[in-house]
Structure 1
Amino acid sequence: MTAASVSPVPQHRIGEAARRSGVSAANIRYYEREGLLQPQARADNDYRLYSDADMHRLRFIRQCRALDMSLDEVRTLLALDLNNKADCATASTALEAHLGHVRQRLAELRALEKDLLALRKRCDGLDGHCHIIEALHQRADEAVPAVAAPAGHRHV
């Protein structure tokens, strides 16, 4: 089903939209605050109303987030037209950039795994004290950063 093949008539309250889209009501509100979704109408009691097109959009966002895409990456893809050749190139470029982020994170995770394995080898649990905790205390004493480094671009 494409965004063009769904009803644009707002008819569902947020609970129903959450159930139909698989996106929690809290996340729906968050995506609204982030500008990824704008409900088109409100009921007489001021409840937000969502259309089938809104729920399709929410499922699209959920799919992108399941692929670990950032909100900016999702925003980029939402702005593209699937029938525009230039937009296809933009989507491909965005996906390639995301693959770069994933590969970087995989390298970081492999390094983390290696570090954790090395820590685990320090102690078999039979000694009078724990060499794992000892090593962590040593690292805490050695690693005194002057200023905390920025977290950088993270997806996980």
Structure 2
Amino acid sequence: MRTYNLDLTPLFRSSVGFDRVGQMLDTAFNSEAPSYPPYNIEKLDDDAYRVTMAVAGFGAGDIDITQTNNSLVLKGEQGKTDGEDTYLHRGIATRAFERRFDLADHVNVTKADLVNGLLVIDLKREVPEELKPRKIEIAAGTEPHTLDHDRKAA
């Protein structure tokens, strides 16, 4: 596996609170992540995403999808067989899996479908109105306010 060493110091000179991003990138490039099951992540538009995972052999009841805060966890475990099957060749993976995805703030799962061995999960970023930028109007042409007061000699 290829190892990368990134120097993100110039990036952090003008930002505050993003030091953890460098650690996450370093971990992502230098650790061996599990490759089963394979998946794709698509960006559908500015606020919509889709995760597609190949889960051939798993039924909807074998897969658990959990979203907690900014984490999406997908677990799959096929039902146990009674052990009476005799195989001449067993090449279809039936092992359990757990896959975690870190989600950005305000990204939520909108739906999940299992079609032809592909688990398709749609996500959407929905920023609350109170957190969206708002335009502040500047008043122009108003007279400055002055206070008149009587000066009394002591």
What's the TM-score once normalised by structure 1's chain length? 0.26
Q: Which has the higher strand share?
A: 2
Greater gyration radius: 2
Q: Which has the higher helix share?
A: 1
